[in-house]
Structures are given as structure tokens and as C-alpha cells.
Chain A
Amino acid sequence: MDTMTLDAAGQTAASQPESAEREAVDTNTSKTVGKPFCDDAKMRMRNVNVFYGETQAIHDISLDIGCNEVVAMIGPSGCGKSTFLRCLNRMNDTIEDCRVEGELTLDGEPIYGQKVDVVPLRARVGMVFQKPNPFPKSIYENVAYGPKIHGIARRRAELDEIVENSLRRAGLWNEVKDRLDQPGTGLSGGQQQRLCIARAIAVSPEVILMDEPCSALDPIATARIEELINELRENYTIAIVTHSMQQAARVSQRTAYFHLGRLVEVNDTETVFTNPQHELTEAYITGRFG
């Protein structure tokens, strides 16, 4: 098969003969291809390195997450996308001998550092996990927990309002309004995950991190969550890690492809799924690994 070559950055036209494309293949030295930065960045990450003890899980990643934008992070298992996501609200703090280096800011304020209190940070950067993990408490308690511990609601009526609003925004209100006192774990998988989203937005975060939120759900529940993500985008900035490329294609504006702890390519989602610029991205999204 004859080959048509392009520089990984896609700067050369078709007429230019094959030149420096060998470098693009070499993942160890390659820089991120595409558009990792944006002008109205909500969160800015620069030269982030993450270590687990001696092993480096993330190599020099720089990425912006823009306001009211959904950024999808895709990549094969163990590529560091979840690790990177967890850096954004310091969930990695709980993991022993996990070290995060680099400059990470939220609205220009550093996330890491001696003086930064992780509690308000996590109120601003909420998280939804892979497995729906409602507390073994009532639906109401689940949603009310965040506002309670942060002292957001002054009165019971206020708390009721927050709970109702959060459940409404998560598209769950009509399904659960008559059984708020029943256990959250009694809901179906998809409902549980929406409850977890309601719980996360109850503390009015600015950024929501989602770590494979649909991996345990059936297609219909998945479609609901995806629809919800689309709606939430108006008010929140969302970063979502997903194993489903179709999902990334459907919900995100930009897609970041991770490979072996490196950020290989970030581009508009349309570009990534029709004409990725890096051949590793191409190989991944077309199912050519092996």
C-alpha cells in the first residue's frame, strides 16, 4: 500500500513529500498535537507530571479546560486519563505516595500548594464516579449532604429548595419526588448515577469531573446521562473520562487523547473523529491497536 504522509501537526500540504513524520511516531518525545489551550480557560494545567512512588504515571501534560465546555478524555486503559482527571480536584491526595508536579490553576488560582484548602476546592470542582455510589442513606440525605457539610443552607426550607433544584437539574425530580425518604441505593443504576450528579451539583460546583460515568449503565440510562451532560454544559464546565468513543463524540466539544501517560492530541471533537491529526489517535479511535 502506497503511503501518503503528513507531518503530525498537519502543517504541510499534500504536495509536500514525506519528511519528518518519523518523529511523530515516537511517543516519548512528541508534544501534544492540536489545540490543548483555549482563551477563556476555567482550569489551566501546565506541565503536569504525576508519580506513583517511583513510576511516572503522567508525563508533562498541558491542557486547558474552557468555560462551559465539555472536554472528553479518551485513551486505552492505563493511559493516565483517570489519574489526570483526579488531579483536578486533588482526589489523588488520598492515594499514598502519589506526587503531582506542575502548575494547575482554577480561575487563575493554584489548586495545589501548602495554603490551598482542599475542602472548598472540592466544593468548586465536583466529581461523579465510574460506579454509581450513592450513600446508603435516603435520596434526600444524599443530595442534602454536600450543602450540609459546607454549611450552604441556613434553614431547612433552603435545604429543601436546594435538594429539589439539584434533583430537577439532574432530571430525577419527577421520578423520586414522592419517595425522597427512601434509600438512594434502591434506585436503578441510571437513576443512582443521576442522583450522584444531583449530589455533585447540590454544592453548586463550577467544574464537574466525570470518571466514566456511564460505564456501568445500560444504553438508555447512558443516553439520559449524555442528554443531562448536554444540558449541564450551559452552567458548568465538564471534564469527562470515557471509554466509549461514541460517547466522547456525542457529548464533548473537545476531545483529548491520552496514550501511555502522555497527552497525544487535543482537538475539536469533530476533527478527532473524522480526521485525527496524530496517527496514534487515528489508530485508537478506529480500533487498530493490537
Chain B
Amino acid sequence: MEMHFDQHISRQFNEDLESIKTEMLEMGGLVARQVADAVDALSNADSELAEKVLRAEEEIDKREMALDEHATLIIAKRQPAASDLRMVMSVTRIARDLERIGDEASKVAKMAIALTDEGSSPRGYTEIRHIANAVRKMLNDALDAYTRFDVIAAMRTLTEDEKVDMDYRTAVRELITYMMEDPRSISRVINVLWILRSLERIGDHAKNICEQVVYLVEGADIRHGHEDKLKTK
């Protein structure tokens, strides 16, 4: 089924739907930027950039609220059905995920500041960089799939999360071993663990976004391991 949101009898409705989609994607771009900046701040020990990430957090929260408001108005005025309804629902859900991603990015930025202050001993940074790249790609792909209503791309991105989870578990195991070897480094490594944890969460949220793409296009809710819903259809 093709997704067209510009063919309503009401032109205003077309514009409303188009604009929440655009707003959401803009917010997505902003959040992706935050994640990138946070990771960069960490790897470059750039506390100034980290501060900037923390300041931008507020903007993302504002956008989420604006988007929610906008979606509520559309529901109240238009009583959207079918794909329109799914569009509005998915936008609000994705906005929530994006906001959470923003939170995780801030956490990473905070940790970056803490780690920079303590001086460097780049244990675990390789893992961070590896996972960070993976989740950034996931996030970008998810938003991209949404832009193009591309279920296949979304499904592909979805499966990436498993890899990220595996990488995360491996990294955690490694860092635990390290901490056991050198108990003095525990506080630092815990910070690194927190960062990994945040990145892993970002991956989960990116996965959620992909699920919303499937929901939007196919009308199947595949969250919480219900991928079979799509298959049986």
C-alpha cells in the first residue's frame, strides 16, 4: 500500500500531517547531532562541546512538547483514521523515543565532562567508539527509513540492535575483567560502563523508531517481540 499524505480533500489536513512529520524529522536530526557531539566530546576530551550538548537538551524537550501538542490538535480536529491515525501515533511515539535518546546523549556528555576532568586513560574507548558508530548509524537509518516509509530498511536496521546488544555485553565483560585486574580504575571504568549503557539504550530507541516505521506502513504492532504479526499478515 502506498503512503500518501498529500491527497486529502482538506488541504489543511495535508499540511498538518506534513508538518508534524517534518517537525519530528527535524527533531530527529537534532537528536542525532546531539549523539554525535556527545561521542565526539568524549573521544576528543572536549568538555566545551559536552557543555553545548547539555545546553541543547532543553531545546529537544521543548520540541517534544510542541510535537505532542500538535498531534493532540490533529486528533481533536480531524479524528484521523487508518494511515493518518498511524502517522500521528507513530510521530508521538517516535518523539518520545527521540527525547529519551536526547537524555542519553546528555548523560554521555556529562560523563565526558567527568572523564575529561579526571584526565585520560582511554580504557574502553575503543568499545565506546565502536558501539557509538553502530548506534549512530542505526539512528540515522531509522530516521531515513521513516522519511521514505521504507519497511525493508527499517527491518534491516531493527536487526542491527541485536549486534549492538552483543557488542555491549562483550564490552561489559571485558571492562569487568579489567576492573578486577586493577581495582583503582573502578570509578573511571564505571563511568565508561555508564556511557556504554547509554549508547546501548540509544540503540534500543532507534529500534523502537524502526518498529514505528513498520507500524505506520503496515499497521502491524511488532513491539516487544511480536515480529510474527508482520509475518502472518
Q: List A residues at the B interface (Cβ < 8 Å).
A: 1-6, 10-11, 13-15, 21, 245-246, 249, 272-276, 279, 281-283, 285-290
Contact = CB atoms under 8 A, between A and B. Distances in A.
**Residue of B81, B155, B214 with most partner-chain A CB within 10 A:** B81
Across the A-B interface, the 10 shortest Cβ-Cβ residue pairs: A275-B219, A2-B148, A14-B151, A3-B2, A285-B81, A288-B7, A290-B9, A4-B217, A286-B84, A273-B81
A11 B151 CA distance: 16
A5 B219 CA distance: 13
Given A14-B155, A287-B8, A273 B2 contact: no
A259 B194 CA distance: 58
A274 B86 contact: yes
Contacts, number: 83
Contacts of A290: 7, 9
B83 interface: yes
Given A4-B217, A287-B9, A288-B9, A249 B81 contact: yes
A2 to B, nearest CB: 4
A279 B1 contact: yes
B150 interface: yes
Contacts of B178: none
Which among A11, A276, A286, A287 has the highest number of chain B CB atoms within 10 Å? A286
B166 interface: no
B82 interface: yes
B65 interface: no
Given A6-B218, A287-B8, A288-B9, A14 B3 contact: no
Interface residues of B, number: 31
25 contacts: A1-B2, A1-B148, A2-B148, A3-B3, A4-B1, A4-B2, A4-B150, A4-B151, A4-B218, A6-B1, A14-B214, A14-B217, A14-B218, A245-B81, A246-B79, A273-B85, A274-B82, A274-B85, A275-B86, A275-B220, A286-B8, A286-B80, A286-B82, A287-B9, A290-B7
Contacts of B79: 246
Contacts of B85: 273-274
Contacts of B84: 286
B10 interface: yes
A10 B233 CA distance: 6
Nearest to A18: B2
A162 to B, nearest CB: 40
Interface in B136-178: 148-152, 155
Nearest to A2: B148
B4 interface: yes
A254 to B, nearest CB: 16
B231 A13 contact: yes
Nearest to B10: A287
A32 B151 CA distance: 26
A283 B81 CA distance: 10
Contacts of B150: 2, 4
Nearest to A10: B233
Contacts of A11: 233
B1 A5 contact: yes
B137 to A, nearest CB: 20
Nearest to A276: B82
A13 to B, nearest CB: 6
A14 B152 contact: yes
B82 A15 contact: no
B230 interface: yes
Interface string B195-233: 000000000000000000010011110000000001101
Contacts of B80: 286
Contacts of A6: 1, 218
Contact of B152 (A10, A15, A246): A15
Given A6-B1, A290-B9, A282 B230 contact: no
Most buried by A among B2, B8, B86: B2
Given A14-B218, A287-B8, A2 B83 contact: no
Given A1-B148, A14-B152, A274-B85, 20 more contacts: A3-B2, A3-B3, A4-B218, A5-B1, A6-B218, A21-B1, A246-B79, A274-B82, A276-B82, A279-B1, A282-B1, A282-B82, A285-B81, A285-B82, A286-B80, A286-B83, A287-B8, A288-B7, A288-B8, A288-B9
